[in-house]
Structure 1
Amino acid sequence: MTDGIEDKKLAGLLTAFDLAYQRAVNAVTNDRDLDRAFRRVTALGDHVQALREQLTLMRATTAAQLYASDDDRSYSKLAERVGISKARAAQLVTQAKEADMKQYDSQLLTDQQRDGIACVVCQAEPRTMRPVGRSDQGQVFACSAHPDSEVERAG
């Protein structure tokens, strides 16, 4: 299909989304039971926030794909290509990479591993480490010498 047809389909979906949102707002606004209205508006807000977070990640992932598809891998080129600042381009690519990182269970890590000081594989505290994932307390690292297969088995 052509881009024009796909753009028209997306425009139609956005219009339908706007109408659905307005209907939801009307359902909340017209509810005379204020307790129920509060629960409904909270649910609506939570749902819209979740959609926003998903779209934000999709945008970052798409920017990272554009970045990876360029042989030069330049934030300046990406920024120019999509009409954002170089700093924002770097943020989007980093956001996509972080979202793709392995999640580690912080209860299985030592204090030093949770703090990003020690390797998640061997517990050493070397100078040269690379980020390999996240725990609920922050980013975690592994010695640069460990292959990805060892890092995947850790945590």
Structure 2
Amino acid sequence: MKIRPKPAYFARLPGLKALILMTGLGLAVCTWYVLFHRLHDDVTWFPPAAQCDLNVQACAARLGDAGQLTLHIDTRGPIQALTPLPLAVDIQGVTSSQVSVDFVSRHKKDDVYRFMLDAVTPDHFRGHGQLGEQRGSATAATAPWRARVILDTPKGRLGSWFDFDVRRS
């Protein structure tokens, strides 16, 4: 039996096979993560219609061909944390059995506050919400938040989001 020498490229990089294997495993895990979260989100998201500041005015979003939603936060002045916020959502072109508004910290994704709204009419929902104080960012002058509006419709769950900032007092 004749012994063959190892090729020179393996002699220079002894850990090459292990690095290739680790890279392949890393890519497989990243691909699984992206596909899992993309396929398991039960809300169809639609971008907001335009740049809008909830501190100043109501914000609207088109829900594709299904219709439109408008979020009103009726405050006198800027939105503040730890203050009850009157919320209203108007929908057009789609029927919804339930509407919820989530306030999600854009700084810390685990700060989520969900509020279910009551139907006043089939296309108008009202309720109250409140922003919590963001932990771990006490030095910032403003706190970035996102309001996510989610509708339960016969076509599935539809939603949009609106970004806004809260000034610290």
Q: TM-score, normalised by structure 1?
A: 0.27
Larger radius of gyration: 2
Q: TM-score, normalised by structure 2?
A: 0.25
